Homo-oligomer: A and B are copies of this chain.
Amino acid sequence: MSKRQMIIGMHLGNGYGALAEAWRMPGVDPRAYTSFDAKVRQAQAAERGKFQFLFLPDGPHAAGGDIRYEPSGFNLDVMMTLAAVARGTERIGMVATGSTTFNEAFNLARHFKALDIMNHGRTGWNAVTSASPEVAANYGQRIPSSADRYGRAHEMIQIVQALWGSWGKDAWVADPETGEYAKDEEIAPINLGGEFVASRGPLYIPPSEQGQPVIFHAGGPSPNALSLAGRYASGFIAAAFTIEEARAQRRAFREATERAGRDPDEIKFFPGLMTTIAKDKRAALDRRITLTGRMFPQRAMYLQQMLGVRIDPARLDDPLSPEQLSRAHAAGGDPRAVRALEVARDGWSLRDVLAHGVIDYQPVVVGPVTEVADHMQEWFEAEAADGFWVIPDVYEGGLDAFVDGVVPILQERGLFHLDYEGTTLRDHLGARPQYGVDARVTG
């Protein structure tokens, strides 16, 4: 019996990296935001590391902090980026966020299936709803109610999948000898319409090497997310800060998948992991100070709330005093507070506490390669994860440190594959074949 191994995806965002000052780092092209060459290079580096997929989140709006100092976190266009990446890579899968709220089903189905043809069966669609008023405004609309957003999301996924399957699997003949181009009886309109979305079809694209793209979903374990992911998703892009939280979420998504009539192993659960890697802890902390230090005064205020003690942003070089430590507690229900307290108790200066990434939107490891590998092994063996979506601090440099440093350790420990076994994203995920809608899903 072969040992269970982890699946690794990599966040591919704005061309620089996840952290605010990534664009200013030595070796980084400050114009990488508009450089498709840069993104192809980054994807190739992830492929060198045998990552199973890239994950491209999307707004669509300009995400990020203050544009005066830092770029949007998103790609300028996820589909165009993936088209370039498709032409420049061979094996790595590519999963892009596509809003079910503000896309036409036919257009989305067409773009994703064409990408799946282009990259020879390596595409995944992260089907999410859009809840930000900023996004809605870009479409001259308001954000619908949660019920309507998820109602539309179900219809979108089913109609998109039906369009994907509307050109029958064996319809395409293209035999120059006989002159037969296609079997028209196997190319059928779908004629599907619901409360929110409708399309006649057919979509005139034959199957890819994996048939059609796989579905991902992302976010937290809300009842709506559980229901949607349970029915359709092969992968879930999660946000969980502790092993316990991740285990509980993973279990919930597996149960939801089972309730939908599927095998719980059909959904793979991926917590995030942000990495800042250097030869030792001190160097890694310094690297992260360089990359995020500008935000520390503001984050110190948030740390104050998390720990329930007054913090002077002018005195970040000091650790908490024994008196402060005695009063500090994990306050406010933020799951990250426990970790922040733990790090503070280890005696780090407040600057270093913040440099540990205790306030970030995913769990953070700042340290040497073994520390990253240990984190991943611990979570994986605790069944808190089927793998991770890794968010390097900087793509040029930080990603390489992961690929060249962490990956060999995971491989040595038998936790990660030595090479791609298959060629498609379904192969990489162990996802079952599917063409058109999943007949097991009803309603």
Contacts and interface: CB of A to CB of B under 8 A. Distances in A.
A183 interface: yes
Contacts of A181: 23, 67-71
A66 B294 CA distance: 63
Contacts of A21: 179
A340 to B, nearest CB: 27
Interface in A335-385: none
Contacts of A206: 33-34
Contacts of A113: 76-77
Given A34-B206, A104-B104, A118 B179 contact: no
Contacts of A84: 83, 86-87, 118
A181 to B, nearest CB: 6
A110 B77 contact: yes
A176 B71 CA distance: 12
Given A23-B176, A76-B114, A204-B76, A184 B140 contact: no
Contacts of A140: 105, 193, 197-200
A117 interface: yes
Contacts of A36: 87, 117-118
Interface in A30-77: 30-31, 33-34, 36, 60-62, 66-72, 74, 76-77
Interface string A403-436: 0000000000000000000000000000000000
Contact of A103 (B66, B107, B187, B199): B107
Contacts of A77: 110-111, 113-114, 205
Residue among A68, A86, A199 with most chain B CB within 10 A: A68
A201 interface: yes
A106 B68 contact: no
A329 interface: no
Contacts of A319: none
A106 B182 contact: no
Nearest to A102: B104
B174 A30 contact: yes
A106 B205 contact: no
A80 interface: yes
B184 A66 contact: yes
A77 B117 CA distance: 10
Interface in A186-214: 187, 193, 197-202, 204-206
Contacts of A197: 140
Contacts of A179: 21, 24, 69, 294
B67 A187 contact: yes
A193 B181 CA distance: 46
A139 interface: yes
A285 interface: no
Contacts of A105: 139-140
A138 B106 CA distance: 6
B111 A80 contact: yes
A205 B60 CA distance: 12
Contacts of A294: 179
20 contacts: A23-B174, A23-B176, A30-B174, A30-B175, A30-B176, A62-B202, A67-B181, A69-B180, A72-B204, A80-B115, A84-B86, A84-B87, A84-B118, A87-B88, A104-B104, A104-B139, A105-B140, A137-B200, A140-B197, A140-B200
| Complex A-B, nearest 6 residue pairs according to Cβ-Cβ distance, in ascending order | A140-B198, A83-B83, A77-B114, A137-B200, A62-B204, A24-B176
Interface of A: 21, 23-24, 30-31, 33-34, 36, 60-62, 66-72, 74, 76-77, 79-81, 83-84, 86-88, 102-107, 110-111, 113-115, 117-118, 134, 137-141, 174-176, 179-184, 187, 193, 197-202, 204-206, 294
